[in-house]
């Protein structure tokens, strides 16, 4: 019951492909939420992730456990994510990408 999530910190990453080649289920990051600690930038990244999820049926967004990121996510969760459901990455493995 393990899988690999490639954070794609470099565009040349081959980790996802290598994991799949080794028989390990894998996902890749679509959006990095907190490249900066600017709340407006984190909100923009979250909106981008929501847009991708709506367009493609799912999106993987990752971030750090920073106060700004947590505050933006808490505010978003307290309201509405425009019909997009937050789920653990393992649930996305059940869908084909």
Confidence of residue 95 (pLDDT cuts 50, 70, 90): low
pLDDT at 97 over 60: no
Share of the chain above pLDDT 70, in %: 97
pTM: 0.85
Give yes or no for residue 23 having a pLDDT over 90: yes
pLDDT for the residue numbered 69: 95
Neighbours of 88 (CB within 10 A): 7
Q: Is the pLDDT of residue 68 over 70?
A: yes
């Amino acid at each position: 019951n393990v899988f690999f999530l490639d954070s794609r910190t470099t565009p040349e990453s081959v980790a996802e492909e290598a994991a799949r080649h080794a028989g390990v289920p894998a996902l890749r990051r679509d959006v990095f939420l907190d490249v900066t600690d600017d709340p407006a930038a984190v909100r923009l990244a979250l909106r981008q992730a929501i847009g991708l999820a709506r367009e493609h049926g799912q999106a993987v967004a990752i971030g750090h456990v920073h106060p700004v990121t947590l505050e933006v996510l808490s505010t978003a969760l307290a309201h509405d994510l425009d019909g997009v459901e937050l789920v653990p990455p393992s649930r996305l493995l059940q869908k084909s990408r």
